[in-house]
Amino acid sequence: MRKHTKRLLSTAGVGSLAVSTIAAGMIGFGMTPASANDDHGGTTTPIKHVVVIFGENVSFDHYFATYPQAANTAGETQQGTGIAAPIFTAAKNTPKNIATLAHDNLLAPNNPNSVQPGRLSPSQAITCDQDHEYTAEQKAYNGGLMDKFVQNTSMDACTGGQFGRPGLTMDYYDGNTVTGIWNYAQNFAMSDSHFSTTFGPSSPGALNLVSGQTHGVTEFTATGQPVKPAASDYTVKFPDANGVGTMTEDPDPVYDDCSNKSHASKNNLAGMQGKNIGDLLNDKGVSWGWFQGGFAPTTAATTTTPAACQATHTNIAGATVTDYSPHHEPFQYYQSTANPHHLAPASMAEIGHDGQANHQYDTTDFAKVVNSDTMPAVSFLKAGSYQDGHAGYSDPLDEQKFITQQVNAIQNSKNWNSTAVILAYDDSDGWYDHVAAGVKNSSNTSDDAAWCLNAYNQGVPMAGGYADRCGPGPRQPLVVISPFAKKNYVDHTQTTQSSILRFIEDNWHTGQLRDGSADATAGSIKAMFNFENQRDIKLILNESNGTVVSRGKGDDEQ
């Protein structure tokens, strides 16, 4: 999400009439032809359903610093409930060669940063939000030394009962708090080499998931009028003569009535040119949808007034949080895949298909189809803000409830045997992580620090010639949950957010997005699967604490 101390765009109303009159301005990039053999009735693998649960703002070390060893400190309780924190005991055959802080001997007192890493307890789930801007994250890398996080991304004090301390960015949770995701890793497959496609916050991360592209953005006023480059408030970085540039911040989408509703100021908005994975799936007739908490409007649009999305929930600290965050919804930046007025599907049969909702839905709509023959082939699930895991207004315990609820429902559905659930994140929030991927896509602007500038000067290419797309960025968790996922497996293949995009493209023969999209070079996540061995597993977790309730008959023991 946007950094709270330097908000370039807030969330103000785009009138429904203004949105409807915005010119499309889309540039088609074309597709490469499908080349894989179709051995599975329309897909290249036995996977017929992909569900991406896309969380907020977590680095790999923030959740896995000591995996698979938890502190199991006596007497600890979970924030918000006061119930005893769960004990976590790792399986004996858990892989040992995992790039964690513990494995690489970078816990206290051996860390090169000015503050040593510290464990956050289950009673410290709500913390301050960290600095996760494009430049700040690069500066934290300090040319690859990974030792300037405290100076550049740590936000140590905040209000509203959130936990903070000097050097907070260095801190991490273990299996006594993020119990659910550790249990998924124990029973399915995880990666210790998965990264943001580029540096920066939520909106670029979401765009990299669905298009592998943060270039192609145009700026609009709060009323939906195009902005000339000279009048830009820097929503668009380094625009060309036509005002088209790169997104590195968190502007709200122009094709969304509910943009700019959460703040008094009405700042400029953004629209993307080009295509995304939704366009490619539509071209192939493959069902798909983005399902986000709070997408259903609290006030419907009329011919003269836009819809409003003001539903709220309370997090474990008792804070009231607005469910819907427009800049977390990447398909709303593209006119071709937007549902500006947040129209509900006309019927259950429309979900996943063309119709008035245009593939954009509330999470309640996913619950209607998960156990049906009409469950979409590709589904993206985004929690309401209080459950999305974003520090400041959400937390790992609220996030765990959403993830386990969705995964339990999928496993209990008729579609489980052909499904892959992918747990991934949009950015790192600026939380410390000690592993840097070598720069694969360089940049050379005033926004770039030594990590990216040195790569550019050494001849690392800049895809499409588009600046401010330096990456890969920070390392993040990635977990694959499926009957075809390898058991208790850790993949070391270097992947990015756009690797998920590439898997969907390859599985459904869509071809790739061009014009420098990161899908062309994204590493494969297929090593996390064994498509020749469908396991008899149904791992049902407790939605309150992430502990194991039951496993499949043939998969009871680790």
Mean pLDDT of the chain: 91
Return the pLDDT at 13: 36
- Give the per-residue pLDDT at 228: 74
Q: Are strands 419-425 and 49-55 parallel, antiparallel or unpaired?
A: parallel
Q: Tens of pLDDT along 501-548?
A: 999 999 999 999 999 999 999 999 999 999 999 999 999 999 999 999
Of 1-5, 158-162, 258-262, which range is least confident?
A: 1-5
**How far, in Å, CA of 391 to CA of 396, rounded?**
9
Q: What is the number of residues in the chain?
A: 558
Query: Does position 76 have pLDDT exceeding 90, yes or no?
Result: yes
Give residue 41's pLDDT. Answer: 63
What tens digit of pLDDT does each residue of 238-261 get?
888 888 999 999 999 999 999 986
Beta strands in 426-505 (DSSP E): 479-481, 489-491, 495-496
pLDDT of residue 556: 52
DSSP state at residue 303: S
User: What is the model's pLDDT at position 418?
Assistant: 97
| Contact by Cβ (8 Å): 232, 189 | no
- 76-89 burial, b for 16+ CB within 10 Å, e for fewer? bebbbeeeebbebe
Residue range 441-481, pLDDT digits in tens: 999 999 999 999 999 999 999 999 999 999 999 999 999 99
What does the alpha-carbon distance between residue 219 and residue 271 come to, in Å, rounded to a whole number? 7
**51 class by beta-carbon count within 10 Å (0-12 exposed, 13-18 middle, 19+ buried):** buried
Distances (CA, A) of 404 to 192, 352, 398, 476: 21, 23, 10, 19
pLDDT the model gives residue 22? 32
Residue 498, H or E segment? helix 497-507
Q: How do strand 215-220 and strand 269-272 relate by DSSP bridges? A: antiparallel
| pLDDT value at 14 more than 80 | no
Residue 286 has pLDDT above 80, yes or no: yes
The confidence band for 23, taking pLDDT boundaries of 50, 70 and 90, is: very low
**Any idea which fold 16-300+309-483+502-551 has?**
Alkaline Phosphatase, subunit A (3.40.720)
Rounded distance, CA 537 to CA 550, Å? 9
For residues 66 and 100, what is the distance between their CA atoms, to the nearest angstrom? 6
pLDDT at 138: 98
Q: Which three-class secondary structure state does DSSP give residue 347?
A: coil
pLDDT score for 230: 59
* 339 confidence band (pLDDT: 50, 70, 90): very high
The Cα 254–Cα 258 span in angstroms is 9
The domains of the chain are located at 16-300+309-483+502-551
Fill in the DSSP letter of residue 240. -
The helix (run of H) or strand (run of E) holding residue 497 is helix 497-507
3-state secondary structure of 203: helix
Beta-bridged to residue 426, according to DSSP, are none
Cβ atoms of 472 and 198 within 8 Å: the answer is yes
Q: What mean pLDDT is predicted for residues 197-218?
A: 97
Position 121 scores a pLDDT of 98
Measured CA angle at 444 (ends 443, 446), to 5 deg: 120
Dihedrals phi, psi of 9, to nearest 5 degrees: -135, 140
**How far is C-alpha 172 from the geometric centre of its chain's CA atoms?**
19
Sign of CA pseudo-dihedral 126, 127, 128, 132: negative
Phi, psi of 393 (to 5 degrees): -125, -10
Q: What is the pLDDT of residue 424?
A: 98
- Residue 235 is predicted with a pLDDT of 75
Whole-angstrom distance, CA of residue 531 vs CA of residue 189: 13
| Per-residue pLDDT at 240 | 85
DSSP 305: S
Q: For residue range 168-200, list pLDDT tens digits in order.
A: 999 999 999 999 999 999 999 999 999 999 999
In this predicted structure, what is the pLDDT of residue 160? 80
Task: Write out pLDDT tens, residues 135-154.
Answer: 999 999 999 999 999 999 99
Among left, alpha and beta (phi > 0; psi -120 to 50; other), residue 43 is beta
Provide DSSP, 66-110: TTT-----TT-B-TTT-PBPPP----TT--S----TTTTT-STTS
- Find all residues with CB under 8 Å of 451, minimum gap 6, and list them: 138, 141, 142, 143, 144, 436, 439, 470
* Cβ within 8 Å of residue 291, ≥6 positions away: 361, 362, 363, 365, 366, 379, 380, 381, 382
Q: Give percent of the chain above pLDDT 90.
A: 85
Taking residues 294-306, what's their average pLDDT? 95
Distance separating alpha carbons of residues 524 and 522, to the nearest angstrom:
7
With tokens 């290249």, the residue in question is 44
Counting Cα atoms < 13 Å in the Cβ hemisphere of 43 gives 17
| d(C-alpha 442, C-alpha 463), whole Å | 8
Q: Coil, strand, or helix at residue 218? A: strand
Mean pLDDT for 476-493 is 98
pLDDT reported for residue 231: 56
Predicted pLDDT at 224 = 83
* 291 phi, psi to nearest 5 deg: -120, 120
Quick one: pLDDT at residue 222? 82
Residue 362, amino acid: D
Where does the pLDDT of residue 161 fall: very low under 50, low under 70, confident under 90, or very high at 90 and above? confident
d(CA 243, CA 23): 14
Q: Is residue 321's pLDDT more than 60? A: yes
Residue among 484, 497, 364 at smallest CA distance from 421? 484
